[in-house]
Amino acid sequence: MASTDQDRWSRVKGRLRAEVGDDVYSSWFARMDLEAIEDDTVRLSVPTRFLKSWIQSHYAEKVLACWQAEEPKILRVELTVRSAVLRTAVVKPKAPDLADHRDGNAARLGNGDSRNMLIGDAGGHEALGGSPLDPRLTFESFVVGRSNTLAHAAAKQVVAAKRGDPVMFNPLYIHAGVGLGKTHLLQATTWAGNAVGERKVLYLTAEKFMYGFVSALRTQTALAFKEALRGIGVLVIDDLQFLQGKSTQAEFCHTLNALIDAGRQVVIASDRPPSDLESLDDRVRSRLAGGLVVEMGSLGEELRFEILKSRVMAARAHHPGFDVPLPVLTYIAKTVTHNGRDLEGALNRLLAHNKLTGHPVTLEMAEREVRDLIRPQEPKRVKIEDIQRVVARQYNVSRSDLLSSRRTANVVRPRQVAMYLAKTLTLRSLPEIGRRFGGRDHTTVLHAVRKIEGLVGNDNVLAEEIEILKRQLQD
Ligand code: ADP
Ligand code: MG
C-alpha cells in the first residue's frame, strides 16, 4: 500500500482521536488498521467481531466524517474482522503478493493480525467454550525484563499452584497499555496451566465472556451454574475494559464472587487499573482491587532488544538465510519505542523485504523500512495534566490556581500559556481543553491560544519560555 495512504490514515486517526478523546480512542480505535483505499471506499479492519459491531453501531458516521474531512471523494467505509480479511486475501488471486507475504510472515514471525488463523488448542480448551489460543504465546517466548518481572512471577505462581492450595492473591489483575504483553502473558499462563493439568485453565476474552459464557449461564439453573464452575480451576479474562452493560456486569460480579469464594483463581488483564474502569460499579471495582494489582510498564530499550533478538531466532528456524546484524537490532530497539506490536511489524518489514528482494538486511534498509512504518504513528502523547504541572512549576503558581477562576495577572498569563500548549501539543479539542481547565468555555480557550500566538511574535522572553516548556514536555 502506498505510504501516502498510510499518511492519510494517520491523519484520519489524529482527527478521530481529537473528536472522541484519548480514552475512547484507545478503547475502540487503537487496533483499527487500514487495509486498502479503493475508489470511493476505504477498507478498515479490526481484530474482533465485537469491536467491529461496536464501532459500526456507535462510530460509523464519525469514522466516515473523519475520512471525508481528509479525502472528500470517500463515500463508504467498510469494516472487516482481520482474520477474515486475511483469508479472503489468500484465496483472491488478484493479490498474490499480499497474500503470500502476509501469510508467510504471520505463520513464522508472529504477525498479531493472523492470530485467529493459527489456532491451537490446549486439551480441549475451545470445546470448553474458551477463546482461541495462539501457540506462539508461551512462557518460552515471553522475555522478562524490569517492566514485567512482577507480572511474570505472579503468572508463574498461578501455574505452579495446586488444586486445594490456599490462593495467594485473588484476583490477579494485570494492567498495561496496548501491545505491552498482556495477552501474551495470559495465554502463556493458560498453555502452561493446562499442560500441568492440575487445574483446568479457561481463557476468555471479555467479548467471549459476554457473548458465550454469560449467555450459556443464563440458560442454566443456579445449580447447573455451580456445577459448570466446579470444572474451572483458573478463569482468565482478557481485555476486561471491553466488558459492557449492566446485566453482563452483574453476571461477571456473580461469577467472580462464586469463583473466588470457592477458592478458584481468577486472572484478569485490562488496559487500565480497576479504579479507572468507569463503567463498572463500585462493588466490582473493589473486588478487583482486592487481589494483586500489577502494572506492566512500557518495554524498556533493553527489553525491546531482547524481544527482537528472540524473534529473529524464531524466524531463522523457518528462514535460515534471514540475518539481522546487531547494529540493526540496536537501531530498531532504540527507535521503535511504541510497543510489542510495532517491534513485530518492524521485523516483519525486514523479513518481507529480504524475502521479496533477496537483498540482505542492512542498517540503511532498516532505516528506510522502519521510518516508513513508524513515522505516521501518533507522536509522543503529551498529557494535559503534565502541561499544567510543568507550567505551574515554571511560573511558580499552583495547579489549582490554573484551574481556578482567579483573574490576577500572575495567574492569567500562565493559564493562557498552558491552554496554548494544550492546543498545540495535544489533539484535544477546544471544548475538551476548556473542560480540563476548570470547566471553561471553548471561546476562552480560543482567546488564550490567539493571545499567546500574537505575543510570541514580539516577545522574545515569552517565546523562549514556551520553547523551554515544550522541550520539557516532549522529551
Ligand atoms: P497486549 O495484549 O498487552 O496488547 P500482546 O500480548 O498482544 O499485547 O503483545 C503484543 C506483541 O508484543 C505480541 O507479539 C507479543 O508477543 C509481543 N510482546 C510483548 N511483550 C513481550 C515480551 N515480554 N516478550 C516477548 N514478546 C512480547
Ligand atoms: Mg491483548
15, 152: one domain: no
> Does the CB atom of residue 308 touch ligand 1 within 6 A?
no
Determine the residue type at 203: Y
Q: Is residue 418 part of a domain?
A: yes
Residue 97 lies in a domain: no
Closest CA to 26 of 181, 240, 184, 178: 178
Verify that 63 and 201 share a domain, yes or no: no
Range of the domain at 367: 301-373
Indicate whether 165 and 256 sit together in one domain.
yes
> Is 55:28 a contact under the CB 8 Å cutoff?
yes
Residue 102 Cβ contacting ligand 1 at under 6 Å: no
The residue among 331, 354, 373 that closes a domain is: 373
Are the CB atoms for 209 and 247 separated by under 8 Å?
no
Q: In ligand 1, which atom is closest to the CA atom of 144?
A: 23
CATH code of the domain covering residue 147: 3.40.50.300
Name every residue whose Cβ is closer than 8 Å to that of residue 190 and which is 6 or more positions away in sequence. 122, 125, 130, 133, 201, 202, 203, 236
Ligand 1 in contact with 307 (CB < 6 A)?
yes
Atom of ligand 1 nearest to the CA of 177: 3
Residue ranges for the chain with pLDDT beneath 50: 84-120, 375-378
Q: What separation in Å is there between the alpha carbon of 174 and the centre of ligand 1?
A: 13
262 and 206 share a domain? yes
Query: What backbone phi and psi angles, to 5 degrees, belong to 391?
Result: -65, -45
Atom of ligand 1 nearest to the CA of 178: 4
For ligand 1, the distance from its centroid to the CA atom of residue 182, given in whole angstroms, is 7
96 domain residue, yes or no: no
Classify 397 as helix, strand or coil.
coil
Residues 454 and 322 placed together within one structural domain of the fold: no
Q: What is the pLDDT of residue 87?
A: 33
Classify 71 as helix, strand or coil: coil
**Around Cβ 94, how many Cβ atoms within 10 Å?**
8
**How far is ligand 1, taken at its centre, from the CA of residue 269, in Å?**
13
CA 66 – ligand 1 centroid, Å: 30
- Is 180's C-beta closer than 6 angstroms to any atom of ligand 1? yes
Stated length of the chain: 475
Residue 183 Cα, ligand 2 centroid: separation in angstroms?
A: 4
Give yes or no for residue 110 CB within 6 A of ligand 1.
yes
Residue 88 inside a domain? The answer is no
For residues 258 and 136, state if they share a domain. yes
User: Which grid cell is 136?
Assistant: 506462539
For residue 93, tell me if it sits in a domain.
no
Choosing from 51, 138, 184, 347 the residue with most ligand 1 atoms within 8 A of its CB, the one to mutate for a pocket test is 184
Distance CA 356, CA 328 (A): 19
Q: Is the same domain home to 209 and 118?
A: yes
What CATH number is attached to the domain comprising 457? 1.10.1750.10
- Name residue, grid cell 501469510: 103
Query: Which atom from ligand 1 is nearest to the alpha carbon of 343?
Result: 12
Distance 31 CA to ligand 2 centre (A): 10
| Cβ–ligand 1 contact at 345 (below 6 Å) | no
* Distance from C-alpha of 268 to C-alpha of 240, rounded to nearest angstrom: 7
Domain stop point among 30, 47, 81: 81
The whole-angstrom separation of Cα 141 and Cα 438 is 47
CA of 171 to the centre of ligand 1 (A): 22
33-38 and 41-46: which strand pairing? antiparallel
Q: How far is the CA of 182 from the centre of ligand 2 (A)?
A: 5
CA-closest candidate to residue 115, choices 100, 135, 98: 135
In this structure, are 398 and 311 located in the same domain? Answer: no
Q: Is the CB of 187 under 6 A from ligand 1?
A: no
> What pLDDT is stored for residue 128 in this prediction?
61
For residues 110 and 344, give the distance between their C-alpha atoms in angstroms, rounded to a whole number: 7
The residue nearest atom 17 of ligand 1, judged by CA position, is 340
pLDDT at res. 50: 67
Together in a domain, 250 and 112: yes
Q: pLDDT (tens digit, 9 = 90+) per residue, 58-92? A: 888 899 999 999 889 999 999 988 764 333 333 33
Q: Is the CB of 340 under 6 A from ligand 1?
A: yes
Distance between CA 426 and CA 22 in Å, rounded?
10
Which atom in ligand 1 lies closest to the alpha carbon of residue 137?
16
CA distance 343 to 338: 8
> Do 287 and 330 belong together in one domain?
no
| pLDDT for res 408 | 92
CB 403 within 8 A of CB 437: yes
Atom of ligand 1 nearest to the CA of 271: 3
Number of domains present in the structure of the chain: 4
Q: Is the CB of 179 under 6 A from ligand 1?
A: yes
Cβ atoms of residues 204 and 239 within 8 Å: no
Tell me if 77 CB under 6 Å of ligand 1. no
In this prediction, residue 114 carries a pLDDT of: 34
Cis before 171? omega within 30:
yes
State the pLDDT at residue 253.
Answer: 85
Q: Decide: 305 in ligand 1 pocket, CB within 6 A.
A: no
349: CATH: 1.10.8.60
Tell whether ligand 1 has an atom less than 6 A from the beta carbon of residue 174. no
- Whether residue 389 sits in one domain with residue 367: no
CB distance 176 to ligand 1 below 6 Å: yes
Q: What's the pLDDT score for residue 91? A: 31
92 falls within a domain: no
Cell of 81: 474482522
pLDDT on residue 380: 60
Ligand 2 centroid to Cα of residue 234, in Å, is 18
Ligand 1 lined by 316 (C-beta under 6 Å) = no
Last residue of a domain, one of 267, 295, 323: 295
Q: Does 424 fall in a domain?
A: yes
Three-class secondary structure of residue 43 per DSSP: strand
Q: Report yes or no: 80 and 29 within 8 Å, Cβ to Cβ.
A: no
Q: How far apart are CA 86 and CA 104, in angstroms?
A: 11
Any bridge partners for residue 78, and if so which?
43
Question: Are 157 and 32 part of one and the same domain?
Answer: no
Residue 89 domain flag: no
